Amino acid sequence: MEMVSKRTVRLICIASLGIMLLMICCANYAFAGSEILLNVIPRPVEFQKTKGSFILKSSAQIFIEAEEPLVRKVADYLSEHLAVPTGYEFKVVSSMEQAEKDSDDVIIFQRADTKDRILGDEGYRLCVNPDKITIIANRPAGFFYGVQTLLQLFPSQIESRERVSAVEWKIDCVEIVDYPRFKWRGLLLDVSRHFFTKEEVKQYIDMIVRYKFNTLQLHLTDDQGWRLEIKKYPRLTEVGAWRVLRVGHEWNRCDPPGPGEKPTYGGFYTQQDIRELVNYARERFVTIVPEIDVPGHAMAILATYPNLSCTGGPFQVNPGSAFYRKIENTLCVGNDQVFDFLDGVFSEVAELFPGQYIHMGGDEAYKGFWAKCHKCQKRKAEENLKCEDELQSYFVKRVEKIVESKGKKLIGWDEILKGGLAPNATVMSWRGIGGGIRAAKMGHKVIMSPSPYYYLDLYQGDRIAEPRAYSSSRLRECYAFNPVPKEINVDMVLGVQGNLWTETVPTLRHAQYMIWPRGFAIAETGWSAIHQKDWSEFTRRVEEHFARLDEADIKYSTSMFDVIFVPKKNSTGQLEIGLDTEIQGLDIYYSFDGSNPDQHYPKYTKPLTVPPCAIDIRVVTYRNGQCLGKQITMPLSILRKRVGI
């Protein structure tokens, strides 16, 4: 009896396991179906494959139902984008030619009949049928994002900047409903440490909108340069926009300006440039948020107006030499001229940038000079402030009043919490998420932009194989970041932002390398539904998009294919080397003999002990016979150092 019951139990267990496996397989099957279907980043909220395919022909037309300037711009954008690789000319026609609307081979921009609540301002429905494509949206931005998805459905050659023959411009039929998770999907470009021209900023915008980013924060001022023409203070750009050139150095370690050395590196945007950029961005549904970083990071201001400092200077625009705590770069809080100056600056900034926010920086303000300054100390006493943090809070609150007097809202980095937050400020959390959590709990809106995950100037692979940086943030960590910690209400999180600081990023080409593919991860977190997160499915699409970036001649990092070193000190105090990869399914080959490994070399299966006298380990990754990761030559001395041997 007991035997029978045991067997029965075992049978039940096996049967349940079978059912579970079947369920998992079915789920995988459904998932695999969608995987084959869609290579879109960010992943759309809902999609369903339907029967057949659409083939784009030279006869195709784009219909816009209602003539509206911004919608026509979107249609023109699509027409121009399609025209380059296909070599076809796509006419954009409006409702006047309604009769033609029923002809074959059309792309229709259709207003949602009644306001489609689920879509909001940025969502869209995209239907691809064999004879027509329809994009339905409430607002022009929705059409724009529908267009971005549509372009991603075509073969990768659609991104080519030249005509491509012998490609069938075919899309599998599909129905998509899509809308963003967050309102704020930002990227920052630091144009102070290195200057990027107006044309380069336009290229940056063109790149980021492909992945549905809608906010560009321009870090316009810092110790290394003031980049914005201010009519009231022309010397800011005559003096503050220029520094001496230093190339390839370690940041904060290069030589300061030599005696008589001319500051020749730099540049700035005229107010006309800014109007042009703002308009360019607006037509691509991007809001430019200007950042004027004060009271710290202000050496370019002080080089121009030393009277705004505590000590009186003199100062020079910093080329990347040591400064923090050593050289003064902070505005004097005790000096009313500082606030008059900021009033003048923010008046012009507010007029130039139509968005609702102005970012005041507020980060990393060293207060050592305030502590020694009689004006700052007088202010502290008069205002009954207990410490320098409260002096900073006084400064931030005063800046908030100035910004609000211009009809704008204030944003600052999370240091603005120190000493008490300004009443209506929005906080951008960069030193992890703690500042964001604190601010949200106090009822302030936050944008999550934590450095360990969302700083795009950091190493994306092992530092030995990457361009110079100072810390690390791999794609996987970036993708895994959750911008809504459980302690706070999702409504308090405006959204997410990746920050490209440019101390070590001197060119747009290198900026591209640093942004992609981590920008894909941030785009997906900012747009896609949270339950859709799936690392291996994401990296599959990332690989598809590498092909698209190749077509567009945009640089990107392939570090996700590279080996991760996991060194360990074993029980006898010797080095043991574990090897890993960020993505699944890669084979690692290695050598200790000084030659370059390929797929005929030993394959890594378990942690390695080091042969006597070896100097380095060389590693490389392959998949299905194809080399994917770059070869990394790692000196064993470095691995030993990492584990303290």
Beta carbon of residue 326, minimum distance to Zn ion (angstroms, whole number): 17
* Pairing of the two strands 221-222 and 575-581: unpaired
Of how many residues is the chain composed? 645
For 328-345, the DSSP string reads -----TT-HHHHHHHHHH
363 interacts with ligand ACM by CB under 6 A: yes
Query: Which residue lies nearer to ligand ACM by CB, 341 or 430?
Result: 430
* Residue 64 interacting partner from ligand ACM, Zn ion, none (CB closer than 5 to 8 Å by kind): none
User: For the window 555-584, what string marks contact with ligand ACM as x by the rule CB under 6 A?
Assistant: ------------------------------
Residue 606 per-residue DSSP state: S
Contacts of 158 (CB under 8 A, 6+ apart): 81, 82, 85, 86, 151, 169, 548, 551
Interface positions with Zn ion (CB under 5 A)? 310, 332, 334, 373, 375-376
Whether the Cβ atoms of residue 63 and residue 93 lie closer than 8 Å to each other: yes
Identify which of residues 300 and 365 has a Cβ nearer to Zn ion in the complex: 365
Q: Are 630 and 588 in contact (CB under 8 A)?
A: no
Q: How far is the CB of 425 from ligand ACM (least distance, A)?
A: 15
Helices (H), 353-427: 368-372, 374-382, 388-405
Contacted entry of ligand ACM, Zn ion, none for residue 413, CB cut-off 5 to 8 Å set by kind? ligand ACM
Residues carrying an active site annotation: 222, 297, 364
Q: Using CA atoms, how far apart are residues 409 and 422, in angstroms rounded to an integer?
A: 11
Q: Residue 408: helix, strand or coil by DSSP? A: coil
Q: How far is the CB of 364 from ligand ACM (least distance, A)?
A: 5
CB-based contacts of 134: which residues, under 8 Å, 6+ apart?
107, 108, 110, 125, 126, 127
State the Cα–Cα distance between residues 148 and 140, nearest whole angstrom: 13
Least Cα distance to 328 among 305, 357, 297 occurs for 297
Q: How far is the CB of 367 from Zn ion (least distance, A)?
A: 10
577 binds, among ligand ACM, Zn ion, none (CB under 5 to 8 A by kind): none
Q: How far is CA 210 from CA 288, 480, 616, in A?
A: 16, 22, 42
- Judged by CB under 6 A, the residue of 305, 413, 453, 459 near ligand ACM is 413
Q: How far is the CB of 502 from ligand ACM (least distance, A)?
A: 12
d(CA 245, CA 182): 40
Residue 375 contacts which entry, ligand ACM, Zn ion, none (Cβ below 5-8 A, type-dependent): Zn ion
Structure tokens, 587: 């084979």
Q: What's at 181, amino acid-wise?
A: R
- Residue 366 sits in the site that holds ligand ACM (CB under 6 A): no
Query: Shortest distance, CB of residue 263 to ligand ACM, whole angstroms?
Result: 24
CB of 319 to ligand ACM, least distance (A): 19
Task: Find all residues with CB under 8 Å of 552, minimum gap 6, and list them.
Answer: 159, 160, 161
Query: Which does residue 136 touch among ligand ACM, Zn ion, none (CB within 5 to 8 A, set by kind)?
Result: none
Task: Indicate which of Zn ion, ligand ACM, none lies near residue 364 (CB less than 5 to 8 Å, by partner kind).
Answer: ligand ACM
**Cα distance between residue 288 and residue 588, in whole Å:** 44
Residue 121 binding target from ligand ACM, Zn ion, none, CB below 5 to 8 Å by type: none
CB 514 within 8 A of CB 457: yes
Site size with ligand ACM, rule: CB under 6 A: 4
Nearest residue to 124 (alpha-carbon basis) of 148, 101, 103, 106? 148
Residue 432 binding ligand ACM, by CB under 6 A: no
Judged by beta carbon, residue 398 or residue 642, the one nearer Zn ion is 398
Comparing CB distances to ligand ACM, the nearer of 31 and 324 is: 324
Give the tokens for residue 52. Answer: 């057949």
Rounded to a whole number of angstroms, the distance between the first and last alpha carbons of the chain is 63
Nearer to ligand ACM, 121 or 364 (CB): 364
Site for ligand ACM in 84-103 (CB under 6 A): none
Taking the complex as a whole, how short is the minimal distance between the CB of residue 309 and Zn ion, in angstroms?
A: 7
Taking residues 198 to 237 in sequence order and writing x for each that binds ligand ACM by CB under 6 A, - otherwise, the string is ----------------------------------------
The first and second tokens of residue 110, run together, are 């259709």
Cβ proximity to Zn ion, 339 vs 535, nearer residue: 339
Which of the listed partners (Zn ion, ligand ACM, none) does 285 bind, with a CB threshold of 5 to 8 Å by partner kind? none
Q: Which of 430, 459, 538, 556 binds ligand ACM (CB under 6 A)?
A: 430
Q: What's the DSSP call for residue 503? A: T
Q: Decide if residue 364 touches ligand ACM (CB under 6 A).
A: yes
Question: Residue 109 interacts with ligand ACM (CB under 6 A)?
Answer: no
Residue nearest to ligand ACM (CB): 363
Residues that bind ligand ACM (CB under 6 A): 363-364, 413, 430
